[in-house]
Structure 1
């Protein structure tokens, strides 16, 4: 089963942007992520529409951060990159005739809803500034550069 890595990949890109003094081109981001620049542009478009990055055209252009890192959470980035489902667990039949299957579906749906709420609250509690601080500490960099 394939996992959706857009959140972690875009957080990776955003943290590189924090420490970059120059814009990052779609080609540079694509090389870093091992993908192609069209995929980067499509994904970055959601971040641009949310106001988290901006793109500059022409020589020396590329993607730059355009947000206050203290105000943007992992949940904000998740929503901007368009991740639709947090979990891939589903049901074989959403409207079963079988009472056993209805009971199973209701129990699984309830547990998944509770788990999703915990995950959402966890993502809401972490800002890009928090991640940048962790990155700088891990890299042995000063707190604010």
Structure 2
């Protein structure tokens, strides 16, 4: 089963954008993400609707972050992307009248719901500013490795 990597891609794109002084084109973002500019435009459109980014047309145009990085959480981004499935595992639904299938699904539904609630709660605690700070720390460490 193919995993939905849009949240990861959006975070990647937003961190690149946060490092720029001006807007980034869909082509530039697509190069950073190793994808097609059409995919970037489609995905960024969700964030524009949520008020997180804006796009400018023309020669100096492109995508820019309009929201405060400290105010945008991973949960908000997940929601803006249409709440994609968090897990690649799921229940069988081939025989809904089967009591065994019902028993298994009930047990798994409870576990999936609890795991999803925990993950979404954690997403609500992590902001883009947190990720930007972690990136800055990692970037500085790479530029200035400690002497042995």
Task: Give the TM-score of the pair, scaled to structure 1.
Answer: 0.92
Q: Which residue of 1 aligns with 2:115?
A: 115
Do 2:92 and 2:101's aligned partners in 1 also have CA atoms closer than 8 Å? no
Pick closer, same or farther for the CA change 1:94–1:75 going to 2, 3 Å.
farther
Q: Deviations over 1:28-81 (max 9, x none)?
A: 111111111111100000001111111011011100110011111001111112
Gaps of 5+ in 1: none
Number of the residue aligned with 2:45: 45
* 1:78-89 mapped onto 2 (5 Å cutoff): 78-89=78-89
SS at match of 1:126: coil
Structure 2 CA distance, aligned partners of 1:44 and 1:9? 10
Contact 1:6 1:83 in 2 (8 A): no
2:35 and 2:46 map into 1 onto residues whose CA distance is 17
What residue is the counterpart of 1:26 in the other structure?
26
Maintained 8 Å contact 2:92/2:105: no
Partner of 2:128: 128
Give the TM-score taking structure 2 as reference length: 0.90
- For the aligned residue pairs, the C-alpha RMSD in angstroms reads 1.5
Per the alignment, residue 17 of structure 1 pairs with 17
Task: Report the 3-state secondary structure (helix = DSSP H, G, I; strand = E; otherwise coil) of the residue aligned with 2:93.
Answer: coil
Q: Shift in Å at residue 90 of structure 1?
A: 2.2
Q: Is the 8 A contact 1:44 1:81 kept in 2?
A: no
Q: Take 1:3 and 1:86, find their aligned partners in 2: how far apart are those partners?
A: 9
Aligned residues, how many?
141
- What stretches of structure 1 move > 4 A for 4+ residues in a row? none
Partner in structure 2 of residue 68 of structure 1? 68
Deviation at 1:95, TM superposition (A): 6.6
Q: Does 1:2 align with 2:26?
A: no
Gaps of 5+ in 2: 142-148
Which segment is superposed worse, 86-95 or 36-45?
86-95
